């Protein structure tokens, strides 16, 4: 009776670029759900731990470089896979725009980015997994500055602001938002500016990881 359960990992990898949140999907080569879209993932090998399995599958299937990866939830309902009893450990990942565009532009590959507002039908119970991942993402950015993992190393403040308005789907007062982020001291203002199109050039910022880990140690909560 035991031992007939198969174990897979699946990854929900989010990317962000100029106001769009995307998720990485792959087109299935084989049955079941042949030619259907699914989350990247696959069977866990006997000699690798779960995170290694996710990273391996991701690099095999998409080539994406992951900045941030955490375990999301384990899905084990009967009947979630037509092949039999398959339990899947889902992970949640974030990538920076570079990795993002790279894969998105190579159309020959089987991996593609989809705007989370325009998703195709998904194989297995991946719709459910994705839903939970989106909730986690929205919840998480309000109390941990993981939003930076979706941005370039250097970014104008407006990028961060736009990321939050997009992710939370509501307006944010720029002054109050900056006040809050500034008070955390996780942003370093650089001596550089960028000018994109018209409008006043923007100062570039970078994310201070040291300070972030320090805050984490102190158990500091922040709330957007």
Of the pair 50, 184, the CB lying nearest a second copy is at 50
Distance (Å) of CA 57 to CA 12, 76, 78, 79, 115: 12, 20, 24, 23, 22
Residues from 121 through 160 that contact DNA (CB under 7 A)? 156-158
Rounded to the nearest 5°, which phi and psi values hold at 155?
-150, 150
107 binds, among a second copy, DNA, none (CB under 5 to 8 A by kind): none
Q: Is the sign of the CA dihedral 169, 89, 123, 108 positive or negative?
A: positive
5 binds, among a second copy, DNA, none (CB under 5 to 8 A by kind): a second copy
45 binds, among DNA, a second copy, none (CB under 5 to 8 A by kind): a second copy
| Out of 6, 180, 184, 208, the residue judged to bind DNA by CB under 7 A | 180
Tell me the closest approach of the beta carbon of residue 147 to a second copy, in angstroms: 19
Distance between CA atoms of residues 106 and 39, nearest Å: 18
Give the single-character DSSP code of 64.
P
Interaction site with a second copy (CB under 8 A): 1-7, 43-50, 71, 73-74, 76-78, 85, 87, 89, 221, 223
């Amino acid at each position: 009776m035991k031992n007939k359960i198969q174990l897979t990992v699946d990854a929900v990898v989010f990317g962000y670029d100029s106001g769009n949140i995307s998720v990485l999907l792959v087109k299935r080569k084989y049955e079941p759900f042949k030619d259907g879209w699914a989350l990247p993932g696959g069977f866990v090998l006997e000699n690798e731990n779960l995170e290694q399995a996710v990273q391996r599958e991701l690099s095999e299937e998409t080539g994406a470089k992951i900045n941030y990866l955490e375990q999301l939830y384990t899905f084990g309902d009967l009947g979630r896979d037509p092949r039999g009893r398959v339990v899947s450990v889902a992970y949640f990942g974030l990538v920076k725009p570079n990795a993002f565009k790279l894969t998105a532009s190579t159309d020959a590959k089987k991996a593609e980015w989809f705007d989370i507002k325009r998703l195709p039908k998904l194989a297995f119970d991946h719709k459910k997994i994705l839903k939970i991942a989106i909730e986690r993402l929205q919840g998480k950015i309000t109390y941990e500055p993981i939003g930076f993992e979706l941005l370039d190393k250097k970014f104008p403040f407006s990028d961060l602001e736009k990321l939050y308005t997009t992710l939370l789907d509501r307006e944010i007062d720029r002054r109050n938002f900056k006040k809050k982020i500034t008070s955390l001291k996780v942003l370093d203002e650089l001596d550089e500016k960028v000018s994109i199109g018209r409008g006043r050039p923007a100062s570039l910022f970078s994310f201070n990881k040291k300070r972030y880990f320090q805050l984490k140690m102190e158990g500091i909560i922040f709330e957007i």
